[in-house]
Chain A
Amino acid sequence: MPIKCKTECGRNAVLKRPKTSDALCKECFFAAFEAEIHYTIITNKLFTKGEKVAVAASGGKDSTVLAYVLKLLNDRHDYGLQLILLSIDEGITGYRDDSLETVKKNRDDYQIPLKILSYDELYGWTMDRIVGQIGRSNNCTFCGVFRRQALDRGAKQLEVDSIATGHNADDIAETVLMNILRGDTARLRRCTDIRTGGGENTIPRVKPLKYTYEKEIVMYAHFKKLVYFSTECVFAPNAYRGHARAYLKDLERVRPSVIMDIIHSGEQLLFKDTVKKPVRGICERCGFVSSQQPCKACILLEGLNRGLPKLGIGKKSKGDRMRLKQDKELALRERANLVKNDF
C-alpha cells in the first residue's frame, strides 16, 4: 500500500524529506521547500522593497534553484525586488562554455536579465592561461580568490543593492568544520553569517538558502525539471575540503539533523578576548574589501604579471623573499646590461 502524505492532503507520498524524514507528496514538498526559504528571507530581513539584487549564477544546481525560487517568491509575496543574474566567466575551456549556456537558458526561462563578466575583462587573465603558468596544483586558489572579487566588481558595475549567493546548509556546515580543522578563527566567526559585508564601501552578500539542504535542492530541481549544469570544476577539487565533505555525509547518514546542528554550533561559538579579530578594510590597490594589504587578488595578480605565479601562495614572508630575489636579479641584470652597453 502506498504511503500517504504526512500533511494529510490526501495524496500519496512520493518522497522522504531528507531534512525532517517526513514522507510527502510532490506538491507539499514544493510548498514546504518554498515556505522555508520565504521564512528565512522574512525573519532575517534579507531584502528591502525596491532593491536591485544580483543573483550569483554559475549554472549549477544551487544558483539555478536560487534564481528560480527567488523569482517565484518575489512574484508570489510581492517582495518588489529587481532581480538580475550575474555570471563570471573564468575562461576554463569546456567548463564555462557549457555552464554559461545553462545560465542563458535560465535567463530565458525565468525572464531575468543576465550579465556575464570574464576574468579576462576583470583581470587580464583567463583560468586556462593561469593554469598554463602555475600548473594544476594551486589553481583553485586563483579561481576562488578571483571569483570572490569578481562578484564584487560585477555588482559594483551593475549598481545592485545586494548579491544573493547559492550557499546551502551543507556548504555552511562544511565550512564550519573546515575552519575548525584549519584553525581559521577569523573565518569561523563569520562563515555562518547569513549576511556579510554591507559596510560603507561594500555591497552586502546574502545566503537565502542557508537553511536548505543540498539533497532537497537536488530533489526540488529534479521534480521541477529545472535545467542545471552538474559537472564539478574540471580542475582537481580541494582534497582537504573533500575529507570534510565525506565526514559530513557520514554524519548525516546517522543523524540527518547534523547539518543544522553544526550551523547552530558554529553560531554559538564564543572566542576569548585574546583572539584577535581581523580588520576588514579596503585594499589600497583595487579598492575592494580585504583583511590584508594589498588584497589576495592583487598579490596573485602581481605574481602572474611578474612571472612569479607562486607569489601569493603560502606564507607572506616567503612571498616577500621571492619579490626581493627577483628585484635583485633584475637589478643585477640591468647592471650587466649597462656594463655591456658601455662598450
Chain B
Amino acid sequence: MCSIGDDDVLDDGISSLMTPQKQMLHYLPKGTCYKCGQDRELYKIHFREAECKNCFLIFVNHKFRATVGSSKALPRNADILLVFDGSAESVVLLDMLQTAQSESNFKRLHCYLKVLFLDDYEAYKDTCGINDYKLYIQQVKDLLLSYDNIKCYVTNLRSGIHQKPFDIKDMNLYLNREMEKEKVFSNDINNIQTSTSRNEFIKLYRKNLIASMATILSCKYAFIPTINISIATDLLSAIALGQGNNVACDVAFKDDRLVNGIKIMRPIKNLTETEVLLYIRARNIKWCDRRDHVINASSSIQRITELFIRNLQKNYSSTVSTIICTGNKITSNNDSYEEFEEKCCLCNSSIVNSETLSAVRYSRYVSERMSSDFDLDINFKKFLNLTQNQDQKVCHSCQNIGRDSDINLIKHYL
C-alpha cells in the first residue's frame, strides 16, 4: 500500500527542482552510514536515515526492481524499447537497466534492450533556439554512442508512425532527412488553437508513435522514464481535462490501451526528483539539458498544473506522494464489455454519458436559443431528442480538442 513518504526537498535545504545542471547537489555531508557503519559521504532523502553511496544505490535500484517485479507484467527475456530523451530521468533508467542486466545470477533482469531517442523538438521549439537544439542533439548522440553494446535509434516526432527510425550512428542521415511531409504535420499542429489541446494531441500522438516504433523494432514493451512528480501532474491534468474514466491508465505501471498490443511501462514511476539527482551524482553519469525552461506560466492546463504541484510540494512536502496514493486507488473500466462500447476516434477511450454532460449540452443549447418567447417545455423535448440522436464518436475530453481544431484534419494521425 502507500508507504511512500518521499519528499523532494533535502534536509540541508537544497531544493531539487529538476532544472539546470547548475542546481545539481554540490554538497553532501560526511558521516557514518546508518546501515553499514562506514564513514563516507552521506546521501540523505526524506523519511530515510543518512546512508552511504552504496547503500543508497541498493535502495534506489530496489525501488525500481520492485516496481517492475510487483506487477508481474514483464515476462523473462522480454524485448524492451527504452524511450530516451537524454533527461536525467532517462539516463537513470538506462543506467538502472544496464545494472540490472549485469547483476549476478538470480538478481539479474533477463531482457533484450534497445533505445529509441525520440526527438520531439516540435513540441518545445517555441522555447528553445535552434543552436541550443543542435547542441543538445550532439550531446544525446555522444551519450548514446558511449553505450556501445546497445542498439540505439533516433526518430522525430514529426516523421510519422511508418517512418523507420535511424541508427544513432547515422545521425547525419537523420539530420538531413526528407522533411516536406513533416512540415505538413507542423502546420496541422499549429492549426490547433490552444496549447492545452496541442499538448493533448501530441500526448496521444506520441503514444501511437512509440507503439509503432516498438513494433518496427520488434519490441513488445516500451519503457518510459516518467517519475513521480510527472505522474502526479499527469493525473491532476487528466482530471482537469475531463478524463476521469481513463486516468488510471495514465498513472499505472502498465498502460495497455494501445491498438497493436504494445505495452507502455513506467518502471521508475515511484522515484522522486531528489532520488534521480542523487543517483546521477552517485553513479557520476552525464545527462543532456534541453534548455527549454522559459515557458509561459499561464499558457495551458498541463503547464498550470505542473507549476501548481511544484509550488504546493514546496509548502506541503507530501503533496506528490499523496496524489500518487490517490492515483493508486483508481482503476478504469476500459476492459469491461469492450465490444459493446463506443470508442472515441481520437483517444480510443470508452464514450460515456452522464447527467453532467447533458447539463453541459443543455447550457450550450439554451444559451443559443433562449429568448422571451422560448417555450421551456417544448424545447426540453426537442433537446432530449437532439441529445439522443447525437453523433457521438468523440469522447467528452476530446470534444475540447475538437473545439480548438478541425478533428478531421488531425484524426488520421491517431
Q: Which residues of A contact B (CB under 8 A)?
A: 6-9, 17, 19-20, 22, 24, 27-28, 31-32, 35-36, 38-40, 42-44, 176-177, 179-183, 185, 188, 192, 194, 211, 240, 243, 247, 250-251, 253-255, 257-258, 260-272, 274-275
Given A6-B367, A183-B325, A185-B329, output 7 extra A-B contacts at Cβ < 8 Å: A43-B355, A43-B359, A262-B240, A270-B248, A270-B330, A270-B332, A271-B329
B contacts with A: majority SS: helix
In the complex formed, the residue of B with least CB distance to A44 is: B355
Interface residues as binary, B315-336 with A (CB distance below 8 Å gives 1, 0 otherwise)? 1100100110110011111000
9 smallest CB-CB distances across A and B, nearest first, come from A265-B244, A261-B242, A268-B244, A268-B245, A9-B371, A211-B359, A20-B367, A265-B239, A32-B370
The answer to whether B372 touches A254 (Cβ under 8 A) is no
27 A-B residue pairs with CB within 8 Å: A8-B371, A28-B372, A31-B371, A32-B367, A39-B359, A39-B362, A180-B236, A180-B239, A181-B323, A181-B326, A182-B322, A183-B323, A243-B308, A243-B312, A250-B308, A253-B298, A255-B196, A257-B242, A258-B301, A260-B242, A261-B242, A262-B242, A265-B240, A265-B245, A266-B244, A267-B354, A275-B329
Q: Which of A43, A254, A271 contacts B196 (CB 8 A)?
A: A254
**Which of B235, B242, B298 is close to A250, meaning CB atoms less than 8 Å apart?**
B298
Q: Could you say which residues of chain A place their CB within 8 Å of the CB of B316?
A: 240
The reply to whether the CB of B230 lies closer than 8 angstroms to some CB of chain A is no
Question: Quick one: which of B236, B329, B371 contacts A7, CB cutoff 8 A?
Answer: B371
From B194, B235, B329, B359, give the contact of A40 (CB < 8 A): B359
Query: A81 to B305, alpha carbons, bound, how many Å?
Result: 43
Residues of B within 8 A of A264 (CB): 242, 244, 354, 356-357, 360, 396
Least Cβ–Cβ distance between B329 and chain A, in angstroms: 5
A22 touches B367 (CB 8 A): yes
- Tell me which of A24, A257, A262, A266 contacts B400 (CB under 8 A): A257
Closest chain B CB from A187 CB (angstroms): 11
Does B61 reach chain A (CB closer than 8 Å)?
no
A268 touching B331 by the CB < 8 A rule? no
Contacts of A240 in B (CB 8 A): 316
A110 to chain B, nearest CB (A): 22
Asked if A268 and B400 sit within 8 Å, CB to CB, the answer is: no
Whether a CB of chain A sits under 8 angstroms from the CB of B368 is yes
Give the interface size bracket for B toward A. Answer: 35 or more
**Does B363 belong to the interface (CB within 8 Å)?**
yes
Q: Which residues of B contact A (CB under 8 A)?
A: 2, 194, 196, 235-236, 238-245, 247-248, 298-301, 304-305, 308, 311-312, 315-316, 319, 322-323, 325-326, 329-333, 352, 354-360, 362-364, 366-372, 374, 376, 380, 396-397, 400
Contacts of B363 in A (CB 8 A): 19-20, 32, 36, 211
Q: Report the Cα distance A264→B236, complex, angstroms.
A: 13
Whether A183 lies near B196 (C-beta < 8 A) is no
Bound CA span A250–B297, Å: 10
Q: How far is the CB of B267 from chain A (nearest CB, A)?
A: 21
A44 to B271, CA, bound (A): 44
B368 and A247 contact, CB distance less than 8 A: no
Distance between Cα atoms of A264 and B242 in the complex (Å): 6
**Which residue from chain B places its CB closest to the CB of A42 in the assembled complex?**
B380
Contact B359–A260 (Cβ < 8 Å): yes
Query: Contacts of B355 on A, CB cut-off 8 Å?
Result: 43-44, 194
In the complex the two chains form, what is the Cα distance from A81 to B298 in whole Å?
46
Instruction: Using known A-B contacts A39-B359, A211-B359, A269-B247, determine if residue A180 contacts B235 with beta carbons closer than 8 Å.
Output: yes
B194 touches A261 (CB 8 A): no
Q: Are A7 and B368 in contact (CB under 8 A)?
A: yes
| B370 touching A31, Cβ below 8 Å | yes
Residues of A within 8 A of B366 (CB): 31-32, 35-36
Q: In the complex, A42 Cα to B397 Cα: how many Å?
A: 26
| Chain B residues closer than 8 Å to A32, beta-carbon distance | 363, 366-367, 370
Is A27 within 8 A of B242, CB to CB?
no
A254 with B247, Cβ < 8 A, contacts A6-B367, A240-B316 known: no
- In the assembled complex, the CB of A266 is this many whole angstroms from the nearest CB of chain B, namely 6
Contact A250 B367 (CB under 8 A): no
A268 touches B298 (CB 8 A): no
Q: How far is the CB of B352 from chain A (nearest CB, A)?
A: 6
Q: How far is the CB of B265 from the nearest CB of chain A, in Å?
A: 19
Q: Give chain A residues whose Cβ lies under 8 Å from the Cβ of B358.
A: 43
Partner of B331, one of A20, A43, A271: A271
CB-CB under 8 A from B239, the residues of chain A are 176-177, 180, 262, 265-266
